[in-house]
Every structure is written in structure tokens, then in C-alpha cells.
Structure 1
Amino acid sequence: MTYFVVQVRSGAEIEVKEMLNTVLNRAGDSMVNAIYAMETFTEIIRDENTAVDLSELNSDDISEHLYVKRIQAGLNNLRIACDKLKEYKDANSLALLETYKGSIRELSKDLREVRMNTKKISSVISGYILVELNVDFYYFPDNLWHLVKSVPNVTGIPSKYNVPQEEVDAFFQQVDITPEVEMQFEELLSSEEVVEARNEMLYEANKVVGTVEEKVLLEQIDIIATKVVDSVNEMKNDIDSSNPIIRNVERCKAFIHRKRQIIVMPMDLFLTLYNDIKVQNLIPAQSSFAFLNRFRSILYRDDKMVSLE
């Protein structure tokens, strides 16, 4: 067996892989044993979408991913067309512009709905795919390259020579396609907004002292004051470099996107955090305050770090 690297447009690795498989099958090719795009996925947990699917990628997942890509391509083309039409002021152009805008609204709605129940799939080798041949070739065969370059988004080959076997073995040992889980929490409020909301909730809580409603209001105060991104990043910086959990913690990403606090973590860490919940089916909506309590309990359980490896 020999391996060759094919360069593709960044972000199109999976589409190229699927299309190349189709092209090779139609051509009756027998030299290619496998094509690798090294797919992985991120499962997104939103407060309004509590269904969780952490099963391995399958053909349906890939089909849904490609469908999302087609919608995105259609939206991009329509937006480009709209920008061009804005240069014209005649009645026909203005009417067509409104038609395109309506199509953009419909496709955007479809895209949001599809994304709600679709894994976010990507390749860990951005801009490349790996082609495995079942015969030994020192050079990339011309007849095979003719088929490969006919596939859209293929941009070339970094080298016409095969990849040495020891480099291939090292690559497969080192590459990490561990799935991730992205948890989206409450919007981050400004200091003034936190103070205002806190005062309002305290006022309401004082009216219902000793009731369940008071407990709920006090919990909400804890939530709005929680800065989960800052807290996670601080814990990442504080962890001892010799601790076996460090690799999992360092892979956590904490950031703010469109005011929403977001934490991305390896799947094994997520499963450890929520091992008391049947996460393959349903997970309750989690506040940032509740998440941090779980995160701290895992990191500092019995005052010792716990290995998640």
C-alpha cells in the first residue's frame, strides 16, 4: 500500500472525499483502497435543544453535513447576486432583488432548523485529504490524477511522490479525531446589567421569603453573576503541569460568541462531568453556575485531580 496527499480547498475536505469516491466508482477504479479526510464532530448543546447524540459518525451524518454545505453555497450565491443587482435601479432588477431576498430568508430559516439537529462535522487535516492505494507506486499515477483533478475543490498535490510509510504511521498515531461537545450558556451581561438584574431579583425574592420561588430567584442571581469563560480559563492556567488530566483540560476552549458564553470540551471530559445522566438520550438544560459546580467537583474531587484519560 502507498499513500499520496491531495490538496483541496480548506473546508471542503469531506465534500471532496465523498465526490471523489463517486467519481472513482463510476470510472471502475480498482487502485484506490481508501480516502481519508479524518472527520470528527462537535455536538452542540443549546439551552433550547436538550437532545444529545454522541454516537459515532455514520453515513446519515455525512449526508446531513453535505446538505448544510449545499444550503450555505446557495445562500452565498444568492447574496452575491443581490449585491450585483443593487447596482441596477430598473423595475425588473428591483423585482428580482426582492425575489432573491425572499429566497435568502427561506434558506436561512432552513439552515437554522437543519443545524439544530445536525452534528458540526469537520476535518482535522484542513486543506488536505489522504489517498491510499492498494498497489505500490512511487509516483502518483497519471490516469488516477486525471480523475482526482476533475473533482471540484481539488487544488493540486504537494508532491508527486508517495508519503514514506513511517511518516504515515506516525501521522495516524498522532492525529486526534476525538469528538467534542460544545455547551452554550447564558448571554454575558455587562456589569451594569448584572447589578440591575440582581437588584430586581432580590426585591422579588424578599417578597416570597421561605418559598420555592425565593430559592429559584436566588439561583438565578448566582447564574447571572457567573462568568463561566473567565472561570474555566483561570482553572486551565492554575492546573499543575505534571497532572495527568492536563491534556483534557488544555483542550477545553472557553470563549464568548455573540454575547453567549461557550465552552468546548473533549467528549470524554463531558461524559465524566455528566456520568449521572443518560447523555446519549437527553440532558437537562444546564446553567453556567451548575456547569462550574460540576467542573470544579471533577478537578478538585477530594482535593486531588482526577485523571480522565
Structure 2
Amino acid sequence: MNILENINTEKRNPRSLNLDSMSIAEAVSLMIDEEYGVIEALKEQHRNITEVILATSYSLRNGGRIIYIGAGTSGRLGILDAVECPPTFSVDYNTIVGLIAGGEKAFIQAQEGAEDAANFGKEDLQSINLTAKDIVIGIAASGRTPYVIGALEYANSIGATTVAISCTKQAKISKYAKYSIEAVPGPEVLTGSTRLKAGTTQKLILNMISTLSMVSVGKVYQNLMVDVKPTNQKLIERSKNIICEVTGVDYTTAEKFYLKANKSVKVAIVMILNNCDYEKALAILKNNNNFIKS
């Protein structure tokens, strides 16, 4: 039985049949043109993406976590998105979690066969003490990865919300999830190499999920990352500039309040806008569910 026969990601791209004989310039033009299929695939899935973000936002607001789980490129993309959230939004590393078949070592070196064991997906979720409050997002470009299916089955069994993200229609993993996103950007220039358009598609979906989920819990004011964690010089300067931008104070004043606020951009802004001290600003934010109110 050919298990890949009807999977979109395994189809040949008629535009790249002569890839091996194209000039570099021709191949670059082709690969650029092929990326337009990514945006069209995302537009077609607008409603499904929106539903997923509403679900992830609900989970975060109610004490749950977002758990990405996948194999190969799909797993690496989940980890990539997850690890960027703590510095950007000052959440802890347990709020958005990325899991990959084969464990952390698989991020930099392929662990052959790890994706074929459904029980590994279940075990990885058990290792992080998955609860019914969490939302598990299974990512598999081909839509059939056993590791992801095993994870979704386990998540369903304990009452966690489940999501399937794939790049093929009628994906097998969609049958195991409450919500599904089947964004199909078309056959790859290099047949079956889903690190290309499929990977780009998945990355953009994860960008939207994490960013807009953080907006929903007050981590963003206007379009500014007011909960940024100042872990390096660039982010320290960005923090002060955000304070200036929101409040209209000069750089020196922003720096003074930044320090008074224990290096919290959000607290500094509330202190300035409400002409109050640190403790009062914390109380105001708590009363507003950690949102800055204009």
C-alpha cells in the first residue's frame, strides 16, 4: 500500500520538472514565484485560522498552555515559535511549549524513525503534565505523522483542546482534532521537500497563533510589545523607546520611569499615564486584567 499516494505534499510540481537543468537565475525566479501559493493557501484558511486563535486565546486566559508538537521541520518550527515568546512577551517557557519527535537533540540533528512511533507523542505530552486546560497543536505537513496522531489521541483522551495543522487536503491528522487548518500551497519545487513552501506556510500560521494569542491577553498595546523582556541592549533600548512612544515623555524621563518600574515597560507606562507610584500601577493593571487602558 502506497501511504503517500494521495498526499498533496508528495505531488510533483510541473513548473520545476527541469529544475536540474535550469540556470541559477531561472531557478531563483521560479522559487520566488512559487511562494505566492503560500499566501493564497493562508487566505483560503482564514476562517479556520481565526477559530484556532480564538481557542488558543481562551486557553491562555483560563490558565492553559499552547503546546506545539511535530516531527522534523514541523517540530522545529513549533520550537522556534515557542522559544521567541518569553523575550517578546515576558511569558515563562512553560506557557508556549514546542515538542519534537526525538527530543531536543532532534532540533539540530535528524532522529530517524522517531516520527513513526505514535506512543512517543503520548509520552512527550505526559512528560510535560498535559492538562485539560491546555491546547495541543499537532503540526504535520503531510498530515499523517504517527507521532502527531498519537499526541492528539492522548490530548483528546484527557479533555485537552486539539488542533491539526497540515499542508494537504483531507489530512489524516484532521480527524483527530477539534480544529483543523489544511493550508495547501501547492507541490514543492523539490518534490516532497516540505521544508520549503509547506514550512513557510506553517511558520506564518504559527506567527499568527502566538502573536494574536498574546494580544488577547494584554501583552500588546496598540502594536507595541509592552511586555518585552529586556534581556539584551537592543531590547533595553526598545523598552525605553516604547515608553516614549506611548506616553510622549522624553528619553531621559522614560529611562527614569523604566528603572522605577523595575524595568517593566508596561508598569512604567501606567505610572506615567496615571501619575502614580509603582504599587498603584500594579494595582491598576491587576484591575484591568493586565491590559493598558487608554
TM-score normalised by L of structure 1: 0.23
More helix by share: 2
More strand by share: 1
Q: Which has the higher contact order (CA 8 A, sep 6+)?
A: 1
